[in-house]
Structures are given as C-alpha cells and as structure tokens.
A and B are shown apart, each in its own frame.
Chain A
C-alpha cells in the first residue's frame, strides 16, 4: 500500500507492506535508525516516537495506520551539531550513559513539555514510566527535565532513588 507521511518536517511517499510496523518503516525504509527496538512489544519504550502530537510505541503501530500522519523522531531534535534544549539538558545532567533509551526518553519528554511546560517530579516520572533505562537511573533524567523547565522552588534537591 502506498503511504504518505511527514517525518521531522519532511514528507515521504513510500510503498509499504501492510504488516510492517511503524518502527521498522522508520528505521529500515526511511533509514532513520535513531529510534530503537528494545522489546518489540510495548514494555520498554525505546521505540517511542511522536505520532500526531502523542508519544506512542512505534513497535505496536502499523506503518499503514499512520498514513497521512505527522511524526517526530529523535533525528528532528538536533540542528546540525547544535543539540535541542532537551538533549542539552540530558547531557548537562549526565542523563545518558549507553544512550539506547535516550531517543525514546527524549520523545516522551517532548510530548510532556508540549502539554505541560512546568511539570513536577511526579508528572515527569509518569511521563517516562513507559521508558526503561538500564544505565543511568532515572534521577538524572528527572533532574534534566527540571533543569530545563525550572525546578518548583519548594522541591529543592531531588532525593536519589
């Protein structure tokens, strides 16, 4: 089936097998390999992309379902060598170690901040609840977001958990 979609502001028209997941389509047909496959079934969030404004697990979406959609992936973040604000905050706070979870993590945070410009720690944790990180721990990730959006005054230092 022929599908047409916009990814990071560029429009693509491609012939696509009907059983292909959006994840495979993005990685293998469009060559955008920043988005990762961890579990392939909704558990880990490595495959998170933004589909029409919402963070979704692209491993559980068929590419043909996304015909006509607007999609954002990690490749849309940096502008040449200049990191996006979210990426820069992750770097400053050492919220990246191996980096495998990071593309998905950044997409979840991007949707959160579009809806809620100044989330508290609970809201940040809830937004990335579906993104597993097996390296840095989550504290630095929560700190990175708060660093970017401004920490609610009374919260002070985050407890390391």
Chain B
C-alpha cells in the first residue's frame, strides 16, 4: 500500500522548475514510475510530493535533426524507442539495449530518462548512451547545463543532478548515426531479469567502444580498445576498467569470466 502523498503535474517547463525548487527536500520526480512506485511501496523513498514530468509539451519529444541529433524527452518510453523508425534506422544500438530492458509491460512505461537518472549499475540504456557520446541536458530554476553521460554517473544510484534540477532531455549526436553494435546481457533466467553482467560493443568505422553494466558502481565506458588490439588485449583493457563485486546474483570471479567471454564473442560478432 502507498501512504498519502500529493501528485503534481506541471504543464510547462517553467512551472516544473518552480515546483522542483520549492520541493527540493520533500519532492520526487515521477516519470514511468517503474522504479519510484516500488521504492515508495517498499519504504525506501518517502516523498510528500510526487512531481510528474510527462505532461509538459517538450516531454513527448522524440525527434531527429542534423544539428541536435536524436532528442529524447522525459516522457519517451523504452518501447517508444523500439517502435521509432528513426531510432531503428539511425541508432540501432539504442534499440539493441532497449530490447534487453525488463518486460514488455515495463518497457511500455519505463522512460529512457528515468532509467539513467535512476543510475543503477545495471541500467541497460546507459551503455548505449555512453558508447554513442550522448549528452544530458539538465535544467533548474537557475538555468540549463549540458553534460556528457561519461560524466553523468557518480556512484551507485548517484548522478550529477542537484536538488531542484531535472534531466530535461537526452541528445544523441548526429555523428553517432549508423554506429552498429551488439549487447550481451547475462541473466539468471531467459525471461525478464536485471543483468548479472552486460557488455555492449559498438563499432563506427575503425573506432571500437565497449560499455559494461553491473560490473562497477556505475555503468562504465571503455574507449581504450583499438582495432589493432587482439582479443586478449581487449579483454585486459575492459577488465582493467571495471570492479565487479560478489552479490546475490553472481560472484566477482563469475562476472569477470563472463565479461571476458562476452568481449571475445563480440569482437568476432560485431563487424
């Protein structure tokens, strides 16, 4: 059961930042609710005000332009990405990661912005956004700032967002168009599950990138592997960038072993 809280649904970005400023201490943003509602139910979060970020006109933006690349607003769900012809065609890497996230019903509600702000080490969208050089546009009453995702995650479930600030939109640059990749996510079951470990490899011409989920306090980008490296060198570099722990889903050793398996497999798969 949920306890009593107030629900606010501002209709403009101006109203939203004003409310966020007023509710710095007792407000929480609601996007798809697939993290927030279970957290409230479990008593992990106790906001007095729940602030819906899906109702402003900009929230539903999912649009491509050569200047801004792909712009993703706060109401855009994981399935909106999967159903978007533009995403499928220009940014297939977003779709390979989106497809691995949770179940169909959750993908119908869960937003891309909520996924990254939640900043779980096992976030499935973070690897794609890291490899595609995406940027986070943050807004508060005091103005806007922009930040590459490489600098966005600071610790387990922590980001650079300050109280009163929100992630207004994500921009995936036009330069990342056409990058190809594949995401291998190890789970306990074939159905929906959080990852034990996940490895994304993206190739754009000669440029190779890896991103790893569930293997460090934050999702990790590895941009030090080059096309001249052999598989063992690539594995060494990727393992050098992560610091997996042992927990209920798997041991450190198992995670490290599977990262190696996945890096080798991806190098031969993603041509």
Contacts and interface: CB of A to CB of B under 8 A. Distances in A.
Interface string A104-138: 00001000000000000000001111100000000
B43 interface: no
Interface string A27-61: 00000000000001110010010000011110111
A62 B191 contact: no
Nearest to B54: A65
Given A61-B109, A65-B52, A130-B102, A19 B192 contact: no
Contacts, number: 81
A94 interface: no
Interface residues of A, number: 27
A56 B79 CA distance: 12
Interface string B98-128: 0000111110110000000000000000000
Contacts of B34: 42, 57, 60
B108 A55 contact: yes
A45 B2 contact: no
Contact of A130 (B30, B32, B38, B192): B192
Contact of A19 (B3, B52, B104, B109): B3
Nearest to A61: B33
A61 B105 CA distance: 11
B81 to A, nearest CB: 14
B38 A62 contact: no
Contact of A41 (B41, B54, B105): B41
A20 B2 CA distance: 7
A17 B4 contact: yes
Contact of A62 (B33, B104, B106): B33
Given A60-B109, A62-B50, A130-B104, A21 B6 contact: no
Nearest to A112: B104
> What 6 A-B pairs come out closest when comparing CB atoms?
A130-B103, A18-B7, A41-B38, A54-B108, A60-B37, A19-B2
